[in-house]
Structure 1
């Protein structure tokens, strides 16, 4: 049944528009379901939600067990969310045959329909949402709703373990050095796809940590990290904080020098100090996962 989810991604999500959101991964580990969950509060269509989860290395979450339903509802309550959220349950391929993206049929999902549901209003409700009362309702796939992404967990310390992040206790973050060179923007997208974000340096300690990682990797030159020069000329992180607000703004000697007048993306030297770089220049890059 996994093939169903894969087919839906190909058919429905290939053309969906995706815009990267805030850099913090936002995932929370749940021991009850042994998985990492992220509640996306910014509404999206069902296809856009599925694409975002896919790019983060996960799946549009469904309440396929009682524990999963309870965790999802608890997180909705924590965020004071009064709206329903999309689930991966749908009947797009076979009308009225509701199945999760993992291939779990509705008959095996321990969550019931809300009163009067499903009603297939306007003959256009092939997707399923979860209410704050732990009940299901059929909705249009083109509706704009919040949603959960789910990633399986091999370790509660550094994400799902799939992408080789390593925990550093001094910062409370996990890091992955990506040696394959990419442009700054492609590096940004790759880190999101790996469940993290292009590393943000928040302290001198964190600069030292990255310096040590680069030393182990025997990496010279410069390595992309998560800051850039915005249109107003201010250097800021990918979540919009100035370098000072982020907690680290120590540039390498004679940097930033804006060589050739086109250095607007952020990087660090092997010293752990900041450097401006050409965004299109293929370079190694550092991803971070914050617990």
Structure 2
């Protein structure tokens, strides 16, 4: 948060405990189950109702998270402008309030962690398998909350950098011989994303470094400049971890941390800023209630296919997915087998 505004973010004086309940916001997700035993089609639809609460009790971000998880579901995740408009209907004090967005330094500061916003390699989009790292002293430091890509120095040390900087870079291949990495230095000045696109076009990807020997091999290609390698991370995640929303509503020039602001608060205009997690603010919680509704549509068809064959099952589900345009990640198709009747009906008369 910019220094000219820091006085407005001082810890609030203790006030009486009070929660302001907002109108419910309703999200719709669907799980479809196709049932072939008679044959029939069953769909399960879920209506997700979310009540949200503004708690007029100053707490640190961690204590606010604990309170929300004990009393409700979690700190509030905000997924769209619709959520912001609904929050405007709640009368709250004119102050900063914690929401569920944070960027925990335990995931990325000097470690190769396994969390959602830990450092990962471009070639795999996964975190490090063996945890090898070679950070320079006091790195990574995420100055201004905007350093999410990595360079290697002529000394072989790693530093985090703004991904928009235009630098030279190193690409790699690993097919000749198989599994052994060969590195190529490219002296064209590109942003990290542009360098990634270039390496994926002409090589395998930006340099992936998994041990000290590979780090030395990359370092040997450098002159006196820092260059991009394939390490990056996705900053900021929601407290409930069930939301993967990329929606952001930062105030101008935010986030702008100088290394201590890893939690997010919003003001009465619904704009966000990063702040020191140890400060005490009011906060937003939400309570999640899910309602399940079942709808069944009967259907019959004739087929000579062996429906006990798992491969046939998979093919039919794929065709149904295409037929019903099932592309939503909240929708799934699966088989359910009905128990066989002990006495099958026949057209023959009783004897």
Q: Which structure features the higher share of helix residues? A: 1
Relative to the length of structure 1, the TM-score reads: 0.39
Q: Which structure features the higher share of strand residues? A: 2
Which structure's CA Rg is the greater one?
2
Larger RCO, structures 1/2 (Cα 8 Å, 6+ apart): 2
